[in-house]
Structure 1
Amino acid sequence: MASLAISASSISAIKDKKYTRPPHSINDLGTDYTRYFKPFSDGTKTPIRSWRASISERWPQAKLALSTPPPRVPSTTLFLTPVAPDTGASQGSSTLYDVEKNLSFVDDRLVAPYEEKGMASWPLVCDQEEPDDEMHMPRDDDDIRFRPMIRDHFTKDSVVSTIGLTLMMSGLMFIFVGLPVLSAVGLIDYNSAYGMPLSMFPYYWIPHTWATVNNRQYPLLVNMRKGLIDPDTPKTVKTRKGEYGDDYILVFSDEFNENGRSFYEGDDPYFFAPNIWYGATQDLEWYDADAVTTSQGSLQIRLEEFFNHDLKFKSGMLNSWNQLCFKGGIFEVSVSLPGPAGVQGLWPGAWTMGNLGRPGYLSTTDGLWPYTYQACDAGITPNQSSPDGLSHLPGQRLPSCTCPGEDHPTPGTGRGAPEIDIIEAGAFSGYPGPQGLPIATQSYQVAPFDINYYPNYNFTAFPDLTLSGLNTYTGGPFQQAISATTVLNKDWYDNKQYQRFSFEYVPGQGKEAYILWKVGDQTMFTMDGRAIGANGNIQARQISEEPMSLILNLGFSNSWTYIDWKNLVFPTTMHVDYVRWYQKKSEKMVTCDPPGFETTEYIEKHAKAYQNLNYTSGAERRVTNANQLWDQTGYAWPKHRLNSEC
């Protein structure tokens, strides 16, 4: 760039504002920026004056004149600095020295001719480029030539900066987010050497010990069981043949392969273990949910000496009441019974009961267990209208002939809670040897009763009398049992071996309805509906048409058998490998509300009876106060045609 010296008169003219355009830019101080070459415009189109125009042509008002050219001043630097002449003009003269005509100056335009003689040798010429031309003279292909490549983002500086930024952000997130959250939930207790520990600050909520069920970590939802069939059930057992060639499919299974399952009420979608005393049979143990768990691929129910609720023993019961019910099909369970084998006293069981009766809640079974009756005659009356002590039952609470408007889940249909036992294990003490013979009963419990509790055995069958035969116990004042006694193997105890026990049944009445019991693949006992047909002053009873819930339990009671205290061993455990239920494909009925035999709405309306287990004081009922248990709940005993005028 060149600097120009301006005379005092020019300065005076500027001060007097003689110029038509005031000096508002650097151009007014004598530096010409308009002469830079613009490669994308031409002289005719550009709004700027021609780049070839001289300073005098651009601003004619400021054209300088000098009569006598001054001598050439040698330059001591790269920049040539014009000076005022020594003679020929005095300060304030009207004629000025014309620096444009008489003094060489550096023309740094790109198209300026190269000056050499008597001029500076450094300025740019038309065929030269300065190193910074690319910065202020962009070209049309710069966006392609200078586009950043992927490798340009992975320079050493970029990588180090990214790592540093990540560490810094992680540290800030931990300090301002992670540390407060971890401290709030109690996972860490941050203690500052200069402040109060976080544990001393008030928390928004402090969990109480009673609010913690267990320390178990439950699986994610994506890993949870999604259906009634356990994913661990082998595909080869998902179908089977019935006794008479019918095709059955698996509708529910539980393999109990997941360790540490909890069966407190609400913990499991299918089963729960109640916290009760089973007063119906005056058991010697308390049923506690912590006595039921899963381990090593099996369900385990443990009976042990443990003082609990004024009882010396603790055990467990598992049932599916009002959660999982079935009507018709095959119920199979694989069990290793609690030992010692052949010792009298223990009462392990696998059985089913109508869902209208809740196991252990005696007010709910009052007048329902074990009724399965549709007629309206002496069979529904207290004591069965028999003065000889045949029955001590209060009568059927929900008969088919209740008066209009009375409390009944399905008016016009007799309802009850019959019982089908897969197995109730015991021992026969008359067997020679130090221990007795292990046996099991497989039964159907019904009411009202046949005369002398004697059904029509013409419609029962025992295929192999060496293994199973008629049970000599046929009933008592509270139940009639159509039952078989089956001999068991001592290896099926104490987790040595497992054996399959099952029953297959078709609900209804007459020849087409039946129940048959099996041990393994061998049929032990069969009966059809004719075995409990009309007899004496009562009509036919039915093979259960109620939705049935499942019960697994281990107890003992003096009402069951003699207890051989000397040879019993505690603790002892009942192991269940699996539970499976099959039904005909065209007759699937996995519900507690089958058509015509609904239960859940009735249970909900009578929650006081179904949720309060303390209504049990009438276990030893008196005939003169037969309705005592249900009356305790505050609900009325429904009237029917035989005890009222309706």
Structure 2
Amino acid sequence: MASSSSSSVPAFADNVMYRRQISHASWTSRNSDSPYPGASSSPLLQPRYDFHPNPAEWGIDFGETDDDDLHRAEKPNHNVEFSGNPWSIRGLTNLGCLFILIAGILTLFIGYPVLSFRSTEIGTTSSLGNLGGRNGTGQVPDIGNWGLIDAETPEIAYVVPSWNGGEDMQLVGGFFQTQLDLPHSVHLRYSATNSTPTAGHSTPGTIHTGKQASCCAFRCRNNADIPIRQLTCTIGPRITWRLWYDPEAVTTANGNLVITLSQKETHNLSYEGGMLSTWNKFCFTGGYIETSVRLPGLNNIQGLWPAVWTMGNLGRAGYGASLEGMWPYSYGKFLYSCDVGTAPNQTHNGGPFAATVNGDTGHDGELSWLPGQRLSACTCPDQDNLHPGPKRGNGYVGRASPEIDVFEAQITSINKVLIPQVSQSAQWAPFDAAYQWLNTSDFFSMTDPTISHINSFKGSITQEATSIVTNTAPLCYEDNGNCFSIYGFEYRPGFDDGYITWIATNKVAWTIKGGAVGSNPQTQIGPRQISGANFSPVVLSPHATVAEPMYLIANLGMSFNFGKVDLEHLPFPCHLEIDYIRVYQPKSAINVGCSLIPAILQDTQHKHTSTRNYIQAYTNPNLTTWRDDFGQPFPKSSFLGEC
């Protein structure tokens, strides 16, 4: 077999084998001292891996192949790269790319920080008291069905006539229409969601002007109306109950907004209610607000306090520090409104006498325990960091947070018969002598005295109330029927030409004109103003008047300060159901937004950025007073000789 195998090997293979064997023998001799045998010690394996020393004999084509484009050393294209013209297409392209790169770097590291800082400054300046600068121009984006007007609003509701025979009213805001989901109520829902107070806070709010009163309600009649979320009330000598306002109590069902009051343990408290608002998100100045509601509980059981109401945007309901010295003032828009009405307790050097007598019978007849108007027309000229403005020729414009209620529902005992009613009111400061507003026929009218009467509550040490109580539909209660009733008010801001007309069960209940809260010589105060007057374009004029934008609030709670509470018979849980809340304004006077001054005039005002420094007063519900809890001063007053 060996001879046969040798004859089959090609001639060149013999030569290769011979050479490889010599090489192998030489390698073996050089490594003979290795204890391991060579890997190629077997000559039988060598022919399989040997090649002829001449590559041409391998059968491979070694001819020249074409190079690809990158390997062709051709002569450069002088027409493109070396023409000597710097404005060639390629040169311009290179310069353009370089310019874009440099511009991007400069924008990122210089332009963006400058623009960011500038936009923040503009937002704060333009707000002039609108915290955070939101809605500075009254513009709100329409995102899906989250706009100011719910898409389910029927066309017939877009325009309504004025209740006072004036210009037709156009719908500018509509919430909680039928077929509504909670996300559609974005403007109200956000306030509720973000308003949960810090757990464990149990200190009632107080006022501190040398006199003190305890807080016993969401809006305390004896506590400067400083609302806090955790409420403490005493029933008799020993029993105490507490109420917690929680976003969990605000839901939707059957196309309605539902606020629930429950007897349940919440944050170690006994009851849970709900409150929501459009603070700093939706505000309006002048117009008509209307709501359709089914009231909670039974029409013959006392104790519930459902309400829909409005406040000036400079005070946030539920955040006491923001309200000290702000609620319920509506004062300082005229030249002569720097007077004793802005002072603590509405007195100075012991007078006037009318401010010390015939006041609150529960407090020795004293008229006022208010701490004084924080942002008054008496503010010293150098207090820009404390007063949000605007300024006029003779100083600051007085600012505050007035209140107008759509309704507060109550069950009243008349001759031992329980009657379902609503009180429809506006709250004022400073106060008239004995809280007696001018309810003559020139300034006041009541449509049907058989179902309406002047409220016996006229005021207390913290507020003066212009209020009428009206019988309401007895079947439009949660446990008495299925109907909804309509309530609202139409108002024109101003003084003598201002008015408020209240609507109960879709009919005019009563009207008050600005003259009813005019000057009072006994308490030596000037005229109060219906929620701020229409803005005068002559901003710096001594007679310029401004508007306080109002926002919406709805809540359900309980309070002994509001009336008797029959805990034994209240049918918990109770539900306030709201079908809708709509806001209308005259077509020629649309004014929606939480800023004080129209955007076109904002650049003429002094810069004010202090709202960024004071935002905690509007976001921390545990700060119940401005000076003691929040630790901030009131602006200095020229009337008190502090300049």
The TM-score bracket by the shorter chain reads 0.5 to 0.7
Distance 1:613 1:334 in 2: 30
- Secondary structure of the residue that 2:617 maps to in structure 1? helix
Query: Quick check: which has more Rg, 1 or 2?
Result: 1
Deviations 1:401-459, CA, capped at 9 Å, x for gaps: 211121111141111111100100011123555xx111110000010000000000011
Letter in 1 for 2:341: G
Query: Contact 2:501–2:509 (CA<8 Å) still a contact in 1?
Result: yes
Structure 2 counterpart of 1:592, from 571, 576, 594: 594
**For 1:270-320, what per-residue CA distance to the aligned partner results, in whole angstroms no more than 9, with x for missing partners?**
875732486543464211101101111100001111111232011110111
| Cα distance in 1 for residues equivalent to 2:515 and 2:272 | 42
Where does 1:232-311 land on structure 2 (aligned, <5 Å)?
232-245=152-165, 246-258=167-179, 261=182, 268=189, 272=193, 274-276=195-197, 280-281=219-220, 282=231, 284-311=242-269
Partner of 1:198: none
**Shift in Å, 1:257:** 3.6
Checking the alignment, whether the CA contact within 8 Å between 2:146 and 2:185 is kept in structure 1 is no
Rounded to whole Å, the distance in 2 between the matches of 1:601 and 1:299 is: 37
Q: In the alignment, which of 494, 503, 506 is matched to residue 508 of structure 1?
A: 494
How far apart, in 2, do the equivalents of 1:280 and 1:521 lie? 27
Where does residue 369 of structure 2 map in the other structure? 392
Confirm whether residue 634 of structure 1 aligns to residue 634 of structure 2.
no
Residue of structure 1 equivalent to 2:70: none
Alpha carbons of structure 1 residues 222 and 241: separation in structure 2 relative to 1, 3 Å: closer
Task: Give the distance between the partners of 2:399 and 2:188, measured in 1 at CA.
Answer: 30
- Does the CA-based 8 Å contact 2:472-2:504 persist in structure 1? no
The one of 306, 313, 316 equivalent to 2:274 is 316
Match of 1:428 in 2: 412
Tell me how far apart the structure 2 counterparts of residues 359 and 255 of structure 1 sit (CA, whole Å). 21
Q: Is the 8 A contact 2:172 2:592 kept in 1?
A: yes
Structure 1 unmatched ranges of 5 or more = 1-220, 619-628
The whole-number CA distance in structure 2 between the counterparts of 1:222 and 1:516 is: 31
Q: Deviations over 1:458-494 (max 9, x none)?
A: 1111111012121111110000000000101210100
- Structure 1 residue 345: deviation in Å? 0.5
Structure 1 residues 471 and 266, CA gap change in structure 2 (3 angstroms): closer
Q: Secondary structure at the match of 1:608?
A: helix
Aligned to 2:622: 614
Using the TM superposition, give the Cα deviation of residue 262 of structure 1 relative to its aligned residue in structure 2, in angstroms.
Answer: 5.8
Match runs of 1:107-126 below 5 Å: none
SS in 2 for 1:311: coil
* Aligned partner (choices 230, 245, 261) of residue 150 of structure 2: 230
1:564 to 563, 566, 569: 566
> 1:404 and 1:539, CA in 2 relative to 1: closer, same or farther beyond 3 A?
same
CA distance in 2, matches of 1:600, 1:591: 18
Q: Would you say 1:382 and 2:344 are equivalent positions?
A: yes
Q: Normalising by structure 1, what TM-score?
A: 0.61
Larger mean Cα displacement after TM superposition, 448-457 or 274-283: 274-283
Identical-residue share of aligned pairs (%): 38
- Partner residue, 1:439: 421
Contact 1:370–1:447 (CA<8 Å) still a contact in 2?
yes
Q: Work out whether 1:579 is the aligned partner of 2:581.
A: yes
Distance (whole Å) between structure 1 residues aligned to residue 194 and residue 184 of structure 2: 5
CA distance in 1, matches of 2:550, 2:305: 21
* Aligned match for 1:499, one of 478, 481, 485: 485
Question: 1:496, 1:418 → 2: CA distance?
Answer: 34
Match of 1:409 in 2: 388
Letter in 1 for 2:388: P
Structure 1 Cα separation of the partners of residues 422 and 180 of structure 2: 29
Matches within 5 A, 1:174-189: none
CA shift, 1:644, in A, is: 2.9
**Structure 2 residue identity aligned to 1:640:** S
- Total equivalences in the alignment: 412
Quick check: 1:324–1:592 contact (8 Å CA) kept in 2?
yes
In structure 1, which of residues 517, 521, 529 is the aligned counterpart of residue 502 of structure 2?
A: 517
> What secondary structure is seen at the aligned counterpart in 2 of 1:464?
coil
Distance 1:432 1:266, change over 3 A: closer
How far 1:237 sits from its partner (Å)? Answer: 1.1
User: 1:242: how far off?
Assistant: 0.6
The equivalent residue for 1:215 is none
Q: Distance in 1 between matches of 2:180 and 2:283?
A: 25
Change in Cα spacing, 1:258 to 1:450, as seen in structure 2 (3 Å) is same
Amino acid at match of 1:253: G
Match of 1:28 in 2: none
**Conserved 8 A contact 1:280-1:362:** no
Taking a change above 3 Å as real, the CA distance of residues 609 and 486 of structure 1, as seen in their structure-2 partners, is same
For residue 475 of structure 2, give the secondary structure of its aligned residue in structure 1: helix
CA distance in 2, matches of 1:526, 1:379: 25
Aligned-partner residue type, residue 470 of structure 1: I
Match of 2:519 in 1: 534
Kept after mapping to 1: 8 A contact 2:176/2:185 = no
Q: Alpha-carbon deviation of 1:366?
A: 0.2
Which structure 2 residues correspond to residues 445-456 of structure 1 after superposition, within 5 A?
Answer: 445-456=427-438
CA distance in 2, matches of 1:539, 1:602: 29
Aligned with residue 363 of structure 1, among 311, 315, 321: 321
Partner of 1:40: none
CA distance in 2, matches of 1:600, 1:525: 40
Answer yes or no: is 1:550 the counterpart of 2:552.
Answer: yes
Counterpart AA for 2:168: D
CA distance in 1, matches of 2:376, 2:463: 17
CA distance in 2, matches of 1:577, 1:590: 22
Residues 226 and 262 of structure 1: CA distance in aligned 2, closer, same or farther (over 3 Å): closer
Structure 2 counterpart of 1:343: 301
Once the two structures are TM-superposed, the CA of residue 530 in structure 1 deviates from its matched residue by 0.1
Aligned residue in 2 for 1:419: 403
Q: Check whether the contact 1:593–1:600 (CA below 8 A) recurs between aligned residues.
A: no
Aligned to 2:23: none
C-alpha separation in 2, matches of 1:409 and 1:447: 20
Judge conservation of contact 2:152–2:179 (CA < 8 Å) in 1. no
